[in-house]
A and B are shown apart, each in its own frame.
Chain A
Amino acid sequence: MLKAIVIDDELYAREELNELLVESQQVEVIAQCSNAIEGLKAINSLKPDVIFLDIHMPQITGLELLSMLDPVSMPKVVFVTAYDEYAIKAFEDNAFDYLLKPVESSRLHKTLQRIKLINEQKLDQPNYSPITCQKLELIPCSGFNRILLLEPNNIEIAMSEQTGVHLLTDSDKFTASLSLKVLEEKTDLIRCHRQYLINPTCIREIKLLDNGSAEIVTKSNHHAPVSRRYLKVIKDRFGLL
């Protein structure tokens, strides 16, 4: 059985697809999410084999969600859309799998067969970069009792800890559902340590330490370590020798 997550903002659309998947008897729907933020969390925590992803969703679209996933642990993706000329053209051009709403069960069957085949033969994931965005405009985070969409330039430091990836702004700390690697690739944050990213526009001071490493102090007085390996990169970036 394939483990699947259905992500769609319309209740009936989720239910309809869920019914069809149950009917197929090849898939177990482990979660239904009504927006991309819930979807991202569920993907990270439940590690599905396949996601059924709606394109039009509030705040963060399906394609943006795709950009937030770590390519290494990426599940199979099946796009689901009612009507979106541009997206459909992009799917066809790149031979990505997609379903049109209302979904026909025979068409769904074919899709499931193909996923099975990829799984059995351990074929490579398709490369989604042609349709995903190069830079993220909003980073979904969970704070205390709320979901927040953070603009990347408000982040001063991103750090990976046991409890997840944390983002420090001038006054707050949030937990992001994205990996440090995705943040590094899809935002302007730069790496200064294996576990730290820093916003170069927020650096106030780089304190050089005796052992060849350093420490960055941000405008809001947050501290981030700089490892020897990345210090050179940072120095180069600022034109320091």
Chain B
Amino acid sequence: MTVFRHIIGPMSISNKILLVLSVLIIFLPSCSLPAISSNSSSDTVSLIENKGSDTIVNLALAWAEEYQRINPAVRISVTGGGSGTGIAALINGTVDIANASRRMKEEEKESAINNGSNPVEFIIARDAIAVIVNPENPVNNLTLKQLSDIYSGKINNWQEIGGEDRPIVRLSRETNSGTHVYFLEQVVRLGDKENKTLFSPDTLLLPSSEGIGAEIRQNPNAIGYDGLGYVTEEMKVIGVAISDGGEFVLPSSETVNNGAYPVARDLYMYSNGTPTGIIKDYLDWLLTPEAQNIVTELGFVAIAE
């Protein structure tokens, strides 16, 4: 011991720091050996990692806050980033629950299974996708076909659909959002699997719902779409008709649940394998009337009993 001290010699603090650092750097790679599990729960507080769809993130946050209030021993970390992000994280094993505003794709399921995880699906709420414009825009109603033509680039001026002589600025969510994929399949391609129409390349891809909102609020040329929960008073919601002669319907809980509003979808959570313990408790709680009330409060559509 004393010999050791002699070899090292009397050290100043800065030298000690240097030494510790070099040791740290040498041994760093070995830190990677014990796999770092995300739910490294300490004795008292359990952590649920919850990540994914930006559409769901505010709902998930509200649920998490409420659930943590009731169960102080549980901590829930909520992260957005898009459905694809959450599902990728679930596949990579870095989260406990993935939020998605679309169903998992077959390839995603395959790669999950290849990675040794087994995603289990839960429908936790429903969402109407509202088509929104600036309140100054006189256009009130559009058919699905017109929406498809707008977003695929066939209609480029509001005049062509009964509006003012203004260029149409198309706003869309980024391609990693489930809303984007849903809108592509159900609106741009009118639900036809064979249809390979794409968004017009000059569609603005905004990285977030709020990016769309900010542009809609101040730009009368713009048209966008977003979950009903994101619509605020400074935007105008467009009535949508399924077919050319059909009735124009505004999105709401009733019109979604009775099927009159065509652009609505389920919202999902995926757990890694059949959930147990606190994750099961949490997912069960989400379907209680108490939790579903929060769904309605936030402008989403509660799952009808």
To the question of whether A and B form a pair in one complex, the answer is no
- Where the two chains meet, the residues of A that have a C-beta atom closer than 8 Å to any C-beta of B are none
- Where the two chains meet, the residues of B that have a C-beta atom closer than 8 Å to any C-beta of A are none
